[in-house]
């Protein structure tokens, strides 16, 4: 796989969609005391942009979930970094870069509900590939729905490369 010259969403399109999402989530979360839970590493740029664009005051926690090797989801989700504590009075805003098979967001939600007793869990994902779902999983807010293409940039990687790109690109077969 190699980086395609095709840009799927450029930095202006990303910034403008983040502004819209921020306004919507602000009004939907009014009256709660939310924790912004950042799903490292892919969601970092999006989370920083989104939290700063929002007016809701957040506390911030990190979780690292890993399921991908190259462009393939392994279906098994490991948590190298997890938050701890009792979140029974908390609404959690889980911030994801992309929902693909749905295993990661589902596993994180289960951890939050079962291990941390989170009162409420809402999910925002910048991208969504609904055609790839293996388990039922729906984000409360989505930046863009896309077809089944592998994308990189704005935090998202191919074997850890390209997370630093400011625009979102597709990958294409090499050769
Ligand atoms: P899921 O568990 O299959 O829903 O996958 C979720 C995770 O896989 C995302 O948080 C990403 O880290 C990674 N992922 C899925 N699709 C892509 C992609 O097109 N590009 C980069 N990473 C992806
Ligand atoms: Mg991720």
Which ligand 1 atom minimizes the distance to the CA of 104? 2
pLDDT confidence of residue 74: 78
The model's confidence at residue 5, banded by pLDDT at 50, 70 and 90, is confident
The residue contributing the CA closest to ligand 1 atom 17 is 150
Residues 6+ apart with CB under 8 A from 79: 63, 64, 65, 66, 107, 108, 111
Distance 99 CA to ligand 1 centre (A): 6
Q: From the CA of 133, which ligand is nearest?
A: 1
Ligand 1 environment, Cβ below 6 A: 42, 67-68, 73, 96-105, 150-152, 156-157
On average, the pLDDT of the chain sits at: 94
pLDDT confidence of residue 111: 95
Q: From the CA of 132, which ligand is nearest?
A: 1
Which ligand 1 atom minimizes the distance to the CA of 99? 4
**Cα–chain-centroid distance for residue 164?**
16
Tell whether the model's pLDDT for residue 63 goes beyond 90.
yes
Distance 38 CA to ligand 2 centre (A): 9
Report the side by side order of strands in the sheet with 120-128: 72-81, 59-69, 34-40, 91-99, 120-128, 141-145
- Mean pLDDT over 11-37 rounds to 95
Distance CA 170, CA 7 (A): 7
Tell whether the model's pLDDT for residue 134 goes beyond 80.
yes
Distance 168 CA to ligand 2 centre (A): 15
Active site (catalytic) residues: 100
pLDDT confidence of residue 71: 76
């Amino acid at each position: 796989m190699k980086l395609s010259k095709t840009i799927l969403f450029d930095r202006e399109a990303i910034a403008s969609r983040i502004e819209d999402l921020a306004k919507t989530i602000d009004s939907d979360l009014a009256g709660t005391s939310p924790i912004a839970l950042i799903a490292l590493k892919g969601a970092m740029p999006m989370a920083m942009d989104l939290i700063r664009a929002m007016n809701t005051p957040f506390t911030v926690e990190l979780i690292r979930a890993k399921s991908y090797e190259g462009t393939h989801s392994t279906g098994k989700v490991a948590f190298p970094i997890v938050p701890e504590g009792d979140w029974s009075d908390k609404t959690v805003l889980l911030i994801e870069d992309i929902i693909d098979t749905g295993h990661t967001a589902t596993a994180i939600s289960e951890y939050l509900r079962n291990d941390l007793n989170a009162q409420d869990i809402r999910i925002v994902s910048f991208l969504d590939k609904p055609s790839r779902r293996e388990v039922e999983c729906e984000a409360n807010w989505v930046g863009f729905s896309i077809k089944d293409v592998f994308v990189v940039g704005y935090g998202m990687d191919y074997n850890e490369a390209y997370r630093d790109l400011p625009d979102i690109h597709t990958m294409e077969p090499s050769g």
